Amino acid sequence: LAKTTQPISMDSYEGQEVNITCSHNNIATNDYITWYQQFPSQGPRFIIQGYKTKVTNEVASLFIPADRKSSTLSLPRVSLSDTAVYYCPPGGYNKLIFGAGTRLAVHP
């Protein structure tokens, strides 16, 4: 059974780069790696997805090593509005399994 592990919480300050790492045990060959962000009282929203190497969009970068057993979400120069919970759910056939995620607190 696929499972991911990520830190429960992280703290950062405005302007810093934040890296959140997720370990992907038993990731399936066909599974993509997807990260979501959730603000209080809202549903999670998709941030970024990749299969291997590096993916970058306007919000974040995603680094995936060759063995795909981990992934790192990188948020450049965070602001207070990046305070949220970040999830890297393991995939499976047509469904994702969300755990508690990583609670990121950005301080002034």
Q: Is residue 91 close enough to count as binding another protein by CB under 8 A?
A: yes
Query: How many Å is the Cα radius of gyration of the chain?
Result: 13
Instruction: Print the binding letters for residues 28-67 with another protein: x by CB under 8 A, - otherwise.
Output: x-xxxxx-x----xxxxxx--x-x----------------
Q: Is residue 81 close enough to count as binding another protein by CB under 8 A?
A: no
- Per DSSP, what are the bridge partners of residue 34? 49
The residues binding another protein (CB under 8 A) are 28, 30-34, 36, 41-46, 49, 51, 87, 91-101
